[in-house]
Amino acid sequence: MNGDETFLIVDDARLARKMVRSFVAKARPDLTIFEAGDGEEALKVLSGIKELHYATIDYNMPGMNGIDLAKIVKERCPTARIALLTANVQAPLRKRAADIAVGFIDKPINEAKIAAFVTQTATIP
Amino acid sequence: MSGVFHLRPEVRDALTEIFNIGIGHAAGVLSELVNDEILLTVPELGLTRHTDFAAIAGKLWHEPASIVRQSFQGPFRGDALLIFPARESLELVRILLAEPTPIESMTELEREALLEVGNIILNACLSCIADLLEQEITNALPLYLESDPGSLVNSLIADPDWYVIFIRIDFTVKRHNMRGNILFVLDVPAADAFSAAVEKLVDHFESEP
């Protein structure tokens, strides 16, 4: 059953969104899940959500990149737990995410990585 | 006509994402090797008969290229190619070998260095794809070639019905303005087996709540 807490998935790949949705639903069936295919759509979705609790954001997307989007989301929703979810596993990008207090989850994702993120046991912000 | 040309949009999207993940990991490896950030473009998936590929190749590469070819086998067999413009591959080798003097042509040691880099990058990419699809892919020894990519692809092709799955991700080594491409060449049964494996993955997650 969906509850008051919300989860936003931002990824231009439909498969990635489906996978995250599936793993989130398994780990936290109480969360209400929203999806967006790019930064612009994410901001539109965000304006319709009362309060955001979790978000995973892809880095390499058409238009705005994931770091720029994460900065805006953090500004609007300072208490939300946000992670960059990307196949771009390079150290400079991990550092840029850490610098803005955003977590980092590397693709390919699995159930354990998403479960750790939504049950708040991972060592990320 | 083979099923690979009739992919559902979501399967096509998944194919692109799978290569994106593989190449993302390969870029991570390259970044460590050259101690620099690798900038990646959003991936673009191309699927064409090899007979049409020469025209595409002509638009993408205007000069001879340094190519590392990694043949692979498993549920689908084919060739993965890492392609650098020849001049830029020299720059890459120079960074790797910490060689300060300008070099005009490639020595044996430099060829070996580039081959090893290609081997590491293409293996990172192929291993990641294999894991995602829960398949085992085995690799032959990598080969180094200097050629134009269109001619090379034609020389790999035994049958006019072979496909070229062309994942175009341009990558740039940030401080050195170096770029390259990764290309996959699959035959008809391989392309069908590959797209079937991707379809299975998509169906699994489509059926989830």
What pLDDT, on a 0 to 100 scale, did the predictor assign at position B1? 44
Query: How far is the C-alpha of A86 from the C-alpha of B133, rounded, in Å?
Result: 18
The dihedral sign for the CA sequence A44, A48, A51, A55: negative
Does some domain include residue A71?
yes
A:B CB pairs within 8 Å: 68
Confidence of residue A71 (pLDDT cuts 50, 70, 90): very high
Please say if the pLDDT value at position A123 is more than 60.
no
Please say if the pLDDT value at position B198 is more than 80.
yes
Average pLDDT in chain A: 91
Chain A residues touching B23 at Cβ < 8 A? 87
Average pLDDT in chain B: 79
Query: How far is the C-alpha of A82 from the C-alpha of A104, rounded, in Å?
Result: 9
Which residue ranges form the domains of chain B, and what is each CATH number?
3-206 (3.40.1550.10)
Confidence of residue A31 (pLDDT cuts 50, 70, 90): very high
> B28 and A92: CB-CB below 8 Å?
no
Does some domain include residue A123?
no
| Encoded tokens for A23 | 């793993």
Strand order in the sheet with A54-57: A32-36, A6-10, A54-57, A81-86, A103-106
What pLDDT, on a 0 to 100 scale, did the predictor assign at position A49? 94
Instruction: Taking residues B150-169, report their average pLDDT.
Output: 73
Does some domain include residue A67?
yes
Q: Give B33-46 pLDDT, tens digit per residue.
A: 888 888 887 777 77
Domain encompassing residue A87: 6-118
Which of the residue ranges A20-29, B12-21, B60-69, B97-106 would you say has the lowest mean pLDDT?
B97-106
Query: How far is the C-alpha of B146 from the C-alpha of B96, rounded, in Å?
Result: 19
Cis status, amide bond into B100, omega within 30 of 0: no
Does some domain include residue A124?
no
Does some domain include residue A16?
yes
Maximum Cα–Cα distance for chain B, whole Å? 60
Does some domain include residue A49?
yes
> A60 and B38: CB-CB below 8 Å?
no
Whole-number percent of chain B with pLDDT over 70 = 89
Written as one string, the DSSP assignment of chain B is: --GGGG--HHHHHHHHHHHHHHHHHHHHHHHHHHTS-EEEPPPEEEEEEHHHHHHHHHHH--S-EEEEEEEEESSS-EEEEEEEEHHHHHHHHHHHHT--S--SS--HHHHHHHHHHHHHHHHHHHHHHHHHTT---EE---EEEEE-HHHHHHHH-SSTT-EEEEEE--EEETTTTEEEEEEEEE-HHHHHHHHHHHHHHHHHHHS--
> B27 and A90: CB-CB below 8 Å?
yes
Chain A residues touching B41 at Cβ < 8 A? 60
Chain A residues touching B39 at Cβ < 8 A? none
Phi-psi domain of A24 (left: phi exceeds 0; alpha: psi -120 through 50; beta: other): alpha
Instruction: Taking residues B90-110, report their average pLDDT.
Output: 67
CA distance B41 to chain A (A): 7
> B24 and A86: CB-CB below 8 Å?
yes
What pLDDT, on a 0 to 100 scale, did the predictor assign at position B158? 67
Residue A9: name the closest of A39, A33, A40, A44 by CA. A33
Number of folded domains that form chain A: 1
Chain A residues touching B17 at Cβ < 8 A? 13-16
What pLDDT, on a 0 to 100 scale, did the predictor assign at position B106? 61
Q: For the domain that residue A97 is a member of, what is the CATH number? A: 3.40.50.2300
